[in-house]
Amino acid sequence: MNLVFLGPPGAGKGTVAVKVSEELGIPHISTGDLFRKAIKDQSELGKKVKSILDSGELVPDDLTVALVEERLNQGDTGKGFILDGFPRTIPQAEALDTISTLQMAVNFSVADEVLVDRLSGRRVCKNCGATYHVKFAPPRKEGICDSCGGELYTRQDDAPEAIKNRLQVYYRQTQPLIDYYKDKGIKTDIDAAGSPEQVLSATLKALNS
Ligand code: AP5
Ligand code: ZN
């Protein structure tokens, strides 16, 4: 199943995608994770995009589409894939249509106040990338990853100013994709305000129907 997960920053796309990926045996492809890996590795791409990610602006479409195309050609997408955080603009969606055929675009929605709470309390493992939340999904030991013992950090773009900018960028550039996929007849809405378990079960139900 070829899937796209849409939704504002902090809606919980990544959290659900990890579980759905395990459940369906298809890769979870997050453009944000790919960019953060490039930054960590100090690659050419990483050097180009660091300041863009820190500010919450979008990476240019040509760089992003090339990255996704390369990832989709790695040979593990025979059973399908979950694209999380891509596409984020109409030109990206149009480019994706020339690369692959989607079965569903899942749109996760949550009120802005909840998004700010989720983003400002998020902590990520430096080592394996696992995501926690100080209130909603705390690690067993403060500041330490449950799965690998790595140190947890706060993403630079989870600072208050960057969160504000990311929400503005989302409403201006990404929200129009909801109608884009609605017009294609493949959009499904998920209320992402509930607990992670509730959101996961609503998503699996939608995918199975
Ligand atoms: P990206 O990494 O994609 O960031 P994002 O879209 O802002 O999404 P997030 O990762 O912040 O949120 P999420 O919905 O995955 O939430 P999560 O599950 O972590 O992109 C980062 C940057 O990369 C962009 O700003 C841009 O610069 C660049 N970029 C990426 N893709 C691009 C593209 N296509 N084009 C151009 N540029 C691009 O959950 C958030 C928190 O809430 C966590 O702490 C979690 O534990 C908690 N939580 C999750 N679900 C629940 C729940 N149900 N209840 C309570 N807490 C929950
Ligand atoms: Zn870890």
The tens digit of pLDDT for each residue in 55-87 reads 999 999 999 999 999 999 999 999 999 999 999
CB contact burial 143-172 (16+ within 10 A = b; e otherwise): eebeeeebebeebebbeeebbebbbebbee
pLDDT above 90: percentage of residues in the chain? 99
166 marked as binding residue: yes
Average pLDDT (116-130) is 95
pLDDT in tens, 169-186: 999 999 999 999 999 999
Ligand that comes closest to the CA of residue 95: 1
- Cα–ligand 2 centroid distance for 54 (angstroms): 22
The set of catalytic residues is: 13, 88, 122, 155, 166
State if residue 52 touches ligand 1 by the CB under 6 angstroms criterion: yes
20 marked as binding residue: no
Please report the pLDDT score of residue 157 as a whole number.
96
- Domain limits of the chain? 2-110+173-208
Please report the pLDDT score of residue 48 as a whole number.
97
Please report the pLDDT score of residue 154 as a whole number.
97
Average pLDDT (20-42) is 96
pLDDT above 90: residue 44: yes
Predicted confidence band of residue 204 (pLDDT cuts 50, 70, 90) = very high
58 marked as binding residue: yes
Give pTM, 2 decimals.
Answer: 0.96
Closest residue to atom 8 of ligand 1, CA basis:
9
Please report the pLDDT score of residue 101 as a whole number.
97
CATH T-level assignment (fold) for domain 2-110+173-208 = Rossmann fold (3.40.50)
Atom of ligand 1 nearest to the CA of 15: 18
Closest residue to atom 25 of ligand 1, CA basis:
56
Predicted confidence band of residue 16 (pLDDT cuts 50, 70, 90) = very high
State if residue 131 touches ligand 1 by the CB under 6 angstroms criterion: yes
pLDDT above 90: residue 209: no
pLDDT above 70: percentage of residues in the chain? 100
